[in-house]
């Protein structure tokens, strides 16, 4: 299944209903997942990180909304299905975006460590911080065309005038 089919599957299989306005590349909503035979479908949260602007990167506003979502799922113990098609943190927003990503990632680690079920469906791109976010999930589903890699160190090294392989950067 290709990433476009994967996104359509997430929306249909989990009965995705957006809640509130999208923020940049992020849309958050509710959904339902079939439980054991004979029981009613269970409510879940669904978050879609789509490649709409800046390669699907996560800026300050997206990270703040995701951090809130991770805190909610940890407290309420409600599963999260997350679709990720992203280049990671939006480095063009500078250190403030990297700081916001760090806070969001901390909330994600906390929710994952608390045992909240997190399932990630990977779109075409899952780079940098987005790949770290996907790695926290208890279950990952890759599209046939998913590219999954850690790209952050080379971007930061280049911005500092180094190569990620330079001894000065290491």
CATH number at 88 reads 3.90.226.10
Instruction: Give tens-digit pLDDT for 81-90.
Output: 999 999 999 9
56 in any annotated domain: yes
The predicted structure's pLDDT at residue 79: 97
Whether 135 contacts 154, CB under 8 Å: no
169 in any annotated domain: no
The predicted structure's pLDDT at residue 136: 95
76 in any annotated domain: yes
**Range of the structural domain that residue 108 is part of:** 3-16+45-159
The predicted structure's pLDDT at residue 156: 62
The predicted structure's pLDDT at residue 158: 67
29 in any annotated domain: no
d(CA 30, CA 146): 25
36 in any annotated domain: no
Count of domains in the chain?
1
For each successive 10 residues of the chain (170 residues), what is the average pLDDT?
89 96 97 79 96 94 98 98 95 90 97 98 94 96 90 64 66
The predicted structure's pLDDT at residue 170: 55
Tell me the two tokens of residue 139.
């279950």
The predicted structure's pLDDT at residue 17: 97
Which residues 6+ apart lie within 8 Å of 165 measured at CB?
Answer: none
65 in any annotated domain: yes
63 in any annotated domain: yes
77 in any annotated domain: yes
Residue whose tokens read 């997206």: 62
């Amino acid at each position: 299944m290709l990433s476009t089919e994967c996104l359509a599957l997430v929306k249909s299989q989990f009965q995705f209903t957006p809640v509130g306005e999208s923020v940049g590349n992020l849309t958050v909503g509710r959904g339902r997942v079939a439980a054991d035979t004979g029981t009613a479908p269970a409510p879940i949260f669904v978050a879609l990180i789509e490649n709409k602007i800046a390669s699907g990167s996560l800026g300050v506003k997206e990270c703040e909304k995701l951090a809130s979502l991770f805190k909610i799922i940890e407290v309420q113990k409600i599963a999260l299905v997350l679709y990720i098609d992203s280049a990671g943190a939006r480095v063009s927003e500078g250190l403030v975006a990297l700081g916001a990503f760090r806070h969001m990632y901390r909330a994600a680690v906390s929710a994952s460590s608390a045992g909240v079920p997190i399932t990630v469906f990977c779109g075409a791109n899952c780079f940098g911080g987005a790949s770290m976010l996907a790695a926290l999930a208890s279950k990952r589903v890759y599209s046939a065309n998913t590219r999954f890699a850690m790209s952050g160190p080379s971007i930061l090294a280049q911005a500092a005038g180094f190569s990620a392989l330079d001894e000065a950067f290491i």
